[in-house]
Amino acid sequence: MTREQTSVQYTTSPSDTATAQASTEDSLPSWDLSDLYNAPDAPEITSDLARVTKGVAEFSAAHKGKIVDISPPQFAQAIVAYEGLMETLYRVGSYAQLLYAANVSDPEVGQFYQTIHEKVTDISTDTLFFTLEINRLEDQALKHLLTDDGVAHYAPWLRDVRMFRDHELSDELEQALHQKSVTGRSAWSRLFDEAMADMRITIDGEELTLADTLNRLSDTDGMVRKAAAKALGHQLTGQVRLFSLITNTLAKDKEIEDRLRQYASPMASRNLANQVEDDVVTALVTSVKAAYPDLSHRYYALKAKWFGVEKLDYWDRNAPLPDQADRHFSWDQARTTVLDAYGRFEPELADIAGGFFERNWIDAALRPGKDSGAFSHPTVPSVHPYILMNYHGRSRDVMTLAHELGHGVHQVLSGPRGGLMSDTPLTLAETASVFGEMLTFQFMLENETSAEMRRVMIAGKVEDMMNTVVRQVAFHEFERVVHDERRSGELTADRLGEVWMQIQRESLGPAIRFDDDYRHYWAYIPHFIHSPFYV
């Protein structure tokens, strides 16, 4: 329905109770979506949908079945017209998606989101012919069309479109799959999102959201961490049939479409979209797995030693170092820190990032029913990106802000290229965000005078990188096994738990101790649902 948001889920971002209480006293911003539309019932939404419906009908009448004989100047005009239609559809779709992310548990917002999703899907179905016919052009014919300067401007987009030519189906099948998506993958994904947003975990008589529970896994008090870990495991076990059904259904759905499109493996479509060869990803995964003993196994053994134990319980994996309390950052302090770090490298980066704060493009407030993760959504070039996160005031929350602003600045800078040319594969998008994150970390480290606090910061960064590299590769391996086995039949919840536990033991090493309450922690990982093989 919309351009894919670039996101990172810091699902183990630390926060102790005092920090959570302090952060709620900060003036945390909620975004202002009025640059897209003022409200779900805004007349501009109705008029934009009517206008784009008429435009798509005219576009189809003018070009369907005729791309093979189109002249270079006409082709340039057709691409510009197509880009304009997509801009309107993405604008409406982005508004619905952002409103929903901020209010996942609100049934009226959910109804609006689904209605818009269905309307945008119906309208866009009649544009599918355009890229399909482009991909049926002979190379020599496309080369001739590229002699026009207007067409040549879109050469990178045309290259990206044609990467998928060997995996496309007939017009009729493509249209059917497109229309069925609203009751297929996207519907199951919505079910997952709403189940997560509505989940309440009871700890010592207090009902917490998933985000608040995950934050407690990095509390300074070991008993708080243990209680949160046990309660989360109990809650996931109680709902494991639902999450097993969602996982199995989406894996089968992917297997069917991959087979129709003749992808060689379950990860092949993701790799193609990321513009990276399967062999490169396989080599990366193999190298990281070979380094487990020198990376994660070694680090967690060292951390266990710091804690004075032979093994760390799994709820201590992201714990602060013993006798060390993480510093609290108010929202204003986080803003100043990130902007100063960006500005030291390049003032223009700070100027662009500053606009997100000044113009209310960030939603960082803590609310029940809100998406528990973090992302930067590009929306459309004629507007601007929006960032969602849940700010608890810890140093890793500052890192999350820096990470998402890296995405946001990149999206602002790429916007003038237009909707078709500004789309970015994850491999490039994550480079911009991690760069922004590392700029901020280095700035904070250099300005920290306490040797003990520097040690805490470095340990935290090592653990962040473990989550970025080792944990993501472990996620990839879990998905690989699940999708491979799903070809032979449905996986039971017990089998999913077995695969999860085996891979977690392999990746984290002998210094981490697990129990059965950790068995279904796979169930809350959103990338398995929304972005298979995200690594």
Reported as a single tens digit per residue, the pLDDT across 426-450 is 989 999 999 999 999 999 999 999 8
Query: Residue 201 belongs to what H/E stretch?
Result: strand 201-203
Domain boundary among 411, 446, 481: 446
Q: Where are the alpha helices (DSSP H) in 103-200?
A: 107-125, 128-135, 139-145, 149-152, 155-162, 171-180, 185-198
The Cα-based distances of 85 to 81, 446, 513, 532 in angstroms read 6, 48, 54, 29
Supply the DSSP string of 311-380, one letter for each residue: SEEGGGTTPPPTT--PPP--HHHHHHHHHHHHHHH-HHHHHHHHHHHHTT-EE----TTS-SSEEEE---
* 522 located within any domain: yes
Query: Residue 253 belongs to what H/E stretch?
Result: helix 240-261
> Does one domain contain both 135 and 216?
no
Q: Which residue has the tokens 């990470």?
A: 403
* 152 located within any domain: yes
Closest CA to 327 of 136, 513, 456, 194: 456
> Does one domain contain both 198 and 73?
no
> Does one domain contain both 153 and 174?
yes
Stretch 16-20: mean pLDDT: 36
The confidence score (pLDDT) of residue 218 equals 86
Stretch 60-64: mean pLDDT: 98
Supply the DSSP string of 19-82, one letter for each residue: HHHHHHHS------GGGT-SSTT-HHHHHHHHHHHHHHHHHHHHHTTTGGG--HHHHHHHHHHH
> Does one domain contain both 352 and 313?
no
Q: Does residue 6 have a pLDDT over 90?
A: no
**pLDDT per residue over 280-309, tens digit each?**
999 999 999 999 999 999 999 999 999 999
Q: Does residue 20 have a pLDDT over 50?
A: no
Closest CA to 199 of 61, 407, 370: 370
> Does one domain contain both 408 and 458?
no
Stretch 102-107: mean pLDDT: 95
* 4 located within any domain: no
Domain containing residue 179 = 41-183
* 221 located within any domain: yes
Least confident of 80-94, 340-354, 385-399: 385-399
Per-residue confidence band for 396, with pLDDT thresholds at 50, 70 and 90: confident
The confidence score (pLDDT) of residue 394 equals 86
* 29 located within any domain: no
Stretch 374-391: mean pLDDT: 97
Look at the chain and report how many structural domains it folds into. Answer: 3
The confidence score (pLDDT) of residue 5 equals 54
> Does one domain contain both 179 and 193?
no
The confidence score (pLDDT) of residue 395 equals 86
In CATH, what number is assigned to the domain containing residue 388?
3.40.390
Per-residue confidence band for 215, with pLDDT thresholds at 50, 70 and 90: confident
Per-residue confidence band for 453, with pLDDT thresholds at 50, 70 and 90: confident
> Does one domain contain both 179 and 48?
yes
Per-residue confidence band for 324, with pLDDT thresholds at 50, 70 and 90: confident
Check: CB of residue 491 under 8 Å from CB of residue 244. Answer: yes
CA–CA gap between residue 280 and residue 8 (Å, rounded): 22
| Residue 211 CA from chain centroid, whole number | 16
> Does one domain contain both 312 and 374?
no
> Does one domain contain both 461 and 434?
no
Stretch 113-122: mean pLDDT: 97
The mean predicted confidence, pLDDT, of the chain is 93
The confidence score (pLDDT) of residue 15 equals 34
The Cα-based distances of 351 to 29, 362, 384, 405 in angstroms read 19, 15, 15, 12
Domain boundary among 386, 420, 446: 446
The confidence score (pLDDT) of residue 327 equals 79
Stretch 82-100: mean pLDDT: 98
The Cα-based distances of 468 to 287, 334, 410, 474, 535 in angstroms read 15, 22, 20, 10, 9
> Does one domain contain both 314 and 192?
yes
Q: Does residue 14 have a pLDDT over 60?
A: no
* 301 located within any domain: yes
* 20 located within any domain: no
Beta-bridge mates of residue 202: 207
**pLDDT per residue over 225-234, tens digit each?**
999 999 999 9
The confidence score (pLDDT) of residue 398 equals 95
User: Hey, CA dihedral for 253, 256, 260, 266, is it positive or negative?
Assistant: positive
Q: Does residue 515 have a pLDDT over 50?
A: yes
Q: Does residue 494 have a pLDDT over 60?
A: yes
Percent of the chain with pLDDT over 90: 87
Domain boundary among 396, 412, 446: 446
> Does one domain contain both 455 and 439?
no
Check: CB of residue 72 under 8 Å from CB of residue 144. Answer: yes
> Does one domain contain both 440 and 460?
no
In CATH, what number is assigned to the domain containing residue 156?
1.20.140.70
Q: What is the pTM of this model?
A: 0.91
* 371 located within any domain: yes
More confident residue, 453 or 30: 30
Stretch 475-482: mean pLDDT: 98
